[in-house]
Amino acid sequence: MTQAPSSRASGHIDVRDALQSAPLGAFHYRLATLLALILLFDGFDLYNAAYIVHDVSALWRLSPSRIGVLLSCGLAGFAAGSAVSGPFSDRIGRRRVLLAGIWLSGGMSLAIALFAHDLRTFIGLRFVMGISLGLLMPVAVTYINEIAPRRSANVFTIVFFSCGWIGGATASGFIAAWLIPQYGWQSMYYVGALSVVLALALQFALPESVSFLASRGRQEAVRAQLSRLWPARAAEFANAAFTSPDAGVKAGSVAALFSPEFRRQTICLWSMGALSLFSSYGLSGWLPTIMLKRGENLSTSFAYGSLLVFASAFGSLLTGVLADRIGNRRLAMSLAWLCGAAAIGVLATITGGSVTFVGIVVAGMFVIGTQTVLNNLVAVSYPTEIRSTGVGLYLGIARVGAMCGPAIAGVLQQATGGAGTMFFVLGAALVTAAALVFLVARPENLPKAPAFGH
């Protein structure tokens, strides 16, 4: 049996140590599955705009720059939602913010399907929907990292994130290829509206984060949760007092992110996130349209878009395993981003054939896939009291890069008459991120940060 922390002898149990030492069990898998389902709808809804461009561009007479705005408006909302999700989650709890986000995203998806008959209405509704989606990912990423045991943290979080968010983003292309030709672009948003069914189930099934409960001194709730998470120690938990490491910061404090202990970390993480998502969303948002312009049919172009996102799951896992093996997450991420930049270069210069297929697979693995590892790095770089705030604001700022990616890509194509310059700029953003990562401190070297990860 796994050894309990040394705090057992004193009758006091450090909740963070208990979470990091616990063996994986039914509670972990059940909770991670619920979070994965939330992320599945988040990924589906965030990516589905790329697949309606073919239908609405002719219907609404859209130029490339206006298509860029269509693709970016949801990301702008996502940035706003992410920025507020963290402070709210650190103050009122992970559960409440996740429930609010999933209910709102389902309602707004239905509203788009019913009422978005022109570009202006679509932008307004999609922006609000983006806010709801922005409430989901930061909190879900924070939550899943809080329950991940130390010895399997990277693989555990990446597997469930991949099954959820990447699975939903991948499915959006295949579902679009099947539904849109028969039922129109609105059908994608009717599918997204099914998240209200999940929201109803989560009202009864989703528990509050143990780490959050401990930070609020809710001893009985912590006792109940830990007993479910680690049944072998239930008798010990029944008589223990629970402690939570005091980070010395106010819960949800934005100022703490810029304290001397965390300032450089915060700035570097924000910069890398913006550059990475600039490249990811610039490429994924425009790839189906570019493939159509290169002569591929609609189904093949959509399949390429789904392949790009699907491959990211393997890139996430490969980068995470490499980080665990070599004990250096920064080096693993840098190498992955450089591979992604090389793949973008291939897509810029070679069209058609198996080389394009390989280029899309490698780009998906290391342009989009590396983002999951970066998200985990952010989540383990801050203490519980400001962790969700740190993740939320990071994803909010990073989504500014995501928002700019499709929009700037559209402007570059309209100005140059082709996609070559766009590909060059997207690749250069990744090379810059690959250099910046070495300015980030390792989490275990940061004061009062979680003691796992590389």
Residue 292 near residue 301 (C-beta atoms within 8 A): yes
Q: What is the mean pLDDT of residues 126-132?
A: 94
Locus of tokens 């490499």: 322
- Burial of residue 359, with CB atoms counted within 10 A of its CB: 0-12 exposed, 13-18 middle, 19 or more buried: buried
pLDDT over 50 at 449, yes or no: no
Q: What is the mean pLDDT of residues 326-348?
A: 90
Q: Look at 306 and 32; give whichever has higher pLDDT.
A: 32
Q: Give tens-digit pLDDT for 216-243.
A: 888 899 899 899 888 888 888 888 888 7
Q: Helices 263-293 and 329-349, interaxial angle, to 10°?
A: 20
Q: What is the mean pLDDT of residues 197-208?
A: 95
Structure tokens, 441: 């401190």
Candidates 26, 6, 15, 20; CA nearest to 231 is 26
pLDDT band at residue 191, thresholds of 50, 70 and 90? very high
The whole-number pLDDT of residue 443 equals 63
- The span from the CA of 163 to the CA of 394, in Å, is 23
The whole-number pLDDT of residue 380 equals 76
The whole-number pLDDT of residue 177 equals 86
**What percentage of residues in the chain have a pLDDT greater than 90?**
32
Residue 247 CA, chain-centre distance (Å), reads 25
The whole-number pLDDT of residue 247 equals 45
Cβ-proximal residues to 429 (8 Å cutoff; 6+ apart), any chain: 275, 276, 278, 279, 401
Q: Domains, the chain, ranges and CATH?
A: 12-445 (1.20.1250.20)
pLDDT over 90 at 147, yes or no: no
Whether the model pTM is above 0.85 = no
Phi then psi dihedrals of residue 14, to 5 deg: -75, 115
The neighbour count for residue 3, using CB atoms within 10 Å, is: 7
The whole-number pLDDT of residue 6 equals 41
Q: What is the mean pLDDT of residues 175-182?
A: 91
- Amino acid letter, residue 218: R
Per-residue HEC secondary structure of 90-127 comes to HHHCHHHHHHHHHHHHHHHHHHHHHHCCCHHHHHHHHH
Q: What is the mean pLDDT of residues 174-195?
A: 93
For residue 13, list its beta bridge partners. Answer: 242
Q: What is the mean pLDDT of residues 1-27?
A: 69
- The span from the CA of 437 to the CA of 85, in Å, is 25
pLDDT over 50 at 351, yes or no: yes
The whole-number pLDDT of residue 3 equals 43
For residue 242, list its beta bridge partners. Answer: 13
Q: Look at 169 and 334; give whichever has higher pLDDT.
A: 334
Structure tokens, 400: 């500014």
- The span from the CA of 86 to the CA of 31, in Å, is 20
Q: What is the mean pLDDT of residues 282-295?
A: 84
Residue 77 near residue 128 (C-beta atoms within 8 A): yes
The neighbour count for residue 2, using CB atoms within 10 Å, is: 11
pLDDT over 80 at 266, yes or no: yes
**What percentage of residues in the chain have a pLDDT greater than 70?**
92
The whole-number pLDDT of residue 88 equals 85
pLDDT over 70 at 61, yes or no: yes
The whole-number pLDDT of residue 104 equals 96
The neighbour count for residue 220, using CB atoms within 10 Å, is: 9
The whole-number pLDDT of residue 262 equals 83
Q: What is the mean pLDDT of residues 95-121?
A: 95
Structure tokens, 97: 């913010």
The whole-number pLDDT of residue 153 equals 67
For residue 12, list its beta bridge partners. Answer: 241
Q: Give tens-digit pLDDT for 404-421.
A: 888 888 888 888 878 888
Give CA torsion, residues 420, 426, 431, 435, to 10 deg.
150
Of the given ranges (25-34, 193-202, 263-272, 282-291), which has the lowest mean pLDDT? 282-291
Q: b/e string for 136-162 if b means 16 or more Cβ within 10 A? A: bbbbbbbbbbbbbbeeebbebbbbbbb
- The span from the CA of 44 to the CA of 309, in Å, is 11
Q: Please give the mean pLDDT across all residues of the chain.
A: 85
Phi then psi dihedrals of residue 150, to 5 deg: -55, -45
Q: What is the mean pLDDT of residues 72-101?
A: 87
Q: From residue 111, how far is each of 98, 106, 129, 388, 440 by CA, in Å?
A: 20, 9, 9, 29, 42
The whole-number pLDDT of residue 384 equals 67
pLDDT over 90 at 290, yes or no: no
The neighbour count for residue 255, using CB atoms within 10 Å, is: 9
Highest mean pLDDT among 277-286, 336-345, 394-403, 436-445: 336-345
Q: b/e string for 13-31 if b means 16 or more Cβ within 10 A? A: bbbbbbbbbbeeeebbeeb
